[in-house]
A and B are shown apart, each in its own frame.
Chain A
Amino acid sequence: MAGSTPASAIADATDVAPVGRVGALGRAPRRRLLRRILQTPAGAAGVSLTLLVIVVGLLADLLAPTDPLVPAGPPLAPPSPAHLMGTDALGRDLLSGVVYGARTSLVVVFATGALVLLIGVTVGTVSGYRGGRVDDALMRVTEFFQVLPRFFLAIMAIALFGPGLDLLVLVLGLTSWATLARVVRAEVLSLSQREFVEAARASGASDTRIVVLEILPNALPAAVVYLGLLLAQVLLLEASLGFLGLGDPNLVSWGYLAGQAQRFLRVAWWLSFFPGVAIAFAVLGLNLLGDALTDVLGGRR
């Protein structure tokens, strides 16, 4: 974790400091970056956990012993060599459920991440580069999205439009970009004062060219660092909605599995235990990775 700065702890804070000077990050140091992350125990753990979830999600068809929605053994069987994580009330293999749950989480996190990155970077860049009235207006909108209660908005949207993965991603994406936009704005604001940008401006480059070629490549690392911490929160939010039975009814998700376990808590501890471990590992992985990246890139001191 961050030695002195709990980056993930302030993920929801209203004020976000810029992640810092990363302008010098070229192609060669980037390879060193990974090595430096892996050198700290926390960074190595973050990378491993995140990779584990990605690999399990991608290879779910190969890794899952059975179809997670079809009975494969006796009902409510405790963990055994035949069913490593036990079975649920219908005799469905929990390990298969957890493996396919990784895929659902992966889809939600990647799709939401792409949407958040798109909106956040666009708003942040325009706001930071244009400044003035445009900046004021965009920052008001951003502040508004920061106070919007995502969880309750998502519940209302699900009630009105019906549950589904596409709606979930849309709602989570549309309501989660605000802090990222502020991080990007702060980066762009300081980058646009730097010598290499002024040099480009003096040589007659257009605004689009300056933003796309000079500013964005240098502002993106800060955005990506913050994105990890933000997606950890998205993952928890998705799990909570799944727990309440508001996820996509056609997909197995970790939150849904934990929600189903609630009724059998007295008789089958494993039904709640393993999906929860999976969520905690995935969130921990993203948080550790985000913190390690922040530390290595020398931000937020």
Chain B
Amino acid sequence: MTGRYVGRRLLQVLPTVAGIVLVGFLLIHLAPGGPIIALAGDSGDEEYYAFMTAKFGLDRPLPEQLATYAGNVLRGDLGVSYIQGRPAIDVIAERLPATLLLAGTALVGSSVAGVALGAWAAARAHSIRDLAVTSAALVLYAAPVFWLGQLALLTLALRTGLFPVQGMTTAGGPETGLAWALDVARHLALPALVLASQEVAAVARLTRAGVLEELAADHVRTALAKGLSDRRVLVRHALRRALLPVVTVIGSRPGHLLAGTIVVEVVFGWPGLSRLLLTSVQTRDTPILLGIFLLVAATVVLANLVTDLVYGWLDPRIRYR
């Protein structure tokens, strides 16, 4: 991987970010009632309207408005939530850790489990266990995540009481230290499992396909012929090369994963961004909605960037044109 490749790839981020900022701007300006209603709601007082008009330069010509808006957004200043009367970015930041904890756990867990299951299935292609993994993956990939969540709640939480039903902590439970962490982990287990299941399905299917392809390749036959163990060949020779496309898929799914997180949060009463997002839709609290949209978009762009760089590092054949 050359510095030139890294530089070119970094430079590509700029138009993408500009485009995302522009999409937000367009939506606000196309909204019925115009940008001031979109940004400040239809029940604000004159003083507040004047404040938001000045802040986003809404009395200025359109190009100037775009510049002001872009400047505000890039500084992380999304305006004031008119429901909460606080900067939107602060309101979002409060809810973010819980969502990131859930999404992050699912991302890491599903990547590891997906690769392991895919390789495990491919090692005995067309056996019972391969059939079991591929069928399960097919069904999990088709099942809506809220339904899996509801089924998990019904069977694993409500019937057996193995898992807590709602929330992130036990009311009146420990508030600090190890006991608190364990309490959170117990609440986290089921939603993270549900959220991970679809990603596991996608990763496992792709890993299995990749490993099968590699197992038929010449370099694997050579490795087996020189007497290496099956296991070593599978992990070191087949899986290693098969992982390249898997990296791309894992890196291209954060948008999907975050959408799933919102839905799973609703099912399990997880105190993340979901409730904020839904109440903001009902109250048309645009600064919050815009902030969440931009945040997710930025995460996706960043994840794609990291994926491409990791890919370039893993596969020395990649040279940017």
Contacts and interface: CB of A to CB of B under 8 A. Distances in A.
Question: Is A bound to B?
Answer: yes
Interface of B: 15-16, 19-20, 23-24, 27-28, 30-32, 38, 134, 137-139, 141-147, 150-151, 153-154, 158, 201-203, 205-206, 208-209, 212-213, 245, 248-249, 251-253, 255-256, 258-260, 262-263, 266-267, 277-278, 280-281, 284, 286, 289-290, 292-293, 296-297, 300-301, 304, 307
Interface string A257-301: 011011001100100110110011101100110000000000000
A28 interface: no
A156 interface: yes
Contacts of A158: 281
A243 B255 contact: no
B266 A243 contact: yes
Contact of B139 (A140, A143, A284): A284
A4 B209 contact: yes
Contacts of A2: 209
Contacts of B289: 155-156, 159-160
Contacts, number: 179
A153 B293 contact: yes
A271 to B, nearest CB: 9
Contacts of A152: 255, 258-259, 292-293, 296-297
Nearest to B285: A159
Contact of B245 (A8, A10, A281): A10
Interface stretch (A11-19, A29-37, A76-84): A11-19
Nearest to A162: B32
Given A149-B293, A152-B293, A265 B304 contact: no
B311 to A, nearest CB: 10
Interface of A is mostly: helix
A5 interface: yes
A287 B138 contact: yes
Interface in A226-251: 232, 236-237, 239-240, 243-246
Interface string A127-164: 00000000000001001100111111101111111100
A5 B209 contact: yes
Contacts of B300: 147, 149
The size bracket of the interface on A is 35 or more
B125 to A, nearest CB: 9
Contacts of A70: none
29 contacts: A4-B209, A6-B208, A9-B206, A10-B245, A12-B249, A12-B252, A15-B248, A144-B16, A147-B255, A147-B301, A149-B258, A151-B256, A152-B259, A152-B297, A155-B277, A155-B293, A156-B24, A156-B289, A160-B38, A240-B145, A240-B263, A243-B263, A244-B278, A262-B150, A262-B266, A266-B158, A272-B150, A280-B139, A287-B142
Given A9-B137, A284-B139, 5 more contacts: A9-B141, A147-B16, A265-B158, A283-B143, A287-B138
Which of B32, B147, B252, B301 counts the most chain A CB atoms within 10 A?
A: B147
For the complex of A and B, list the 9 residue pairs with the smallest distance between their C-beta atoms, beginning with the closest: A276-B147, A6-B205, A151-B259, A284-B142, A9-B205, A160-B31, A283-B142, A149-B255, A272-B150
A221 B139 CA distance: 26
A1 interface: yes
B150 A261 contact: yes
A4 B252 contact: no
B255 A9 contact: no
A255 interface: yes
A196 B262 CA distance: 51
A272 B147 contact: yes
Nearest to B158: A266
Nearest to B208: A6
A272 to B, nearest CB: 4
B259 A269 contact: no
Contacts of B145: 240
A149 B296 contact: yes
Contact of A155 (B142, B281, B301, B304): B281
B141 A148 contact: no
Given A140-B15, A269-B154, A280 B255 contact: no
Contacts of B253: 12
Contacts of A275: 147
A279 B248 contact: no
A21 B67 CA distance: 48
Which of A148, A159, A273, A281 counts the most chain B CB atoms within 10 A?
A: A159
A147 B151 contact: no
A141 to B, nearest CB: 8
Given A147-B255, A150-B255, A161 B297 contact: no
A17 B212 CA distance: 18
Contacts of B304: 14, 147
Given A149-B258, A155-B289, A4 B138 contact: no
B281 A159 contact: yes
Which of A150, A265, A279 counts the most chain B CB atoms within 10 A?
A: A265
Given A244-B262, A280-B139, A287-B141, A144 B15 contact: yes
Which of A6, A143, A284 counts the most chain B CB atoms within 10 A?
A: A6
A148 B23 contact: yes
A300 B277 CA distance: 39
Contacts of A147: 16, 20, 255, 297, 300-301, 304
B14 to A, nearest CB: 11
A9 to B, nearest CB: 4
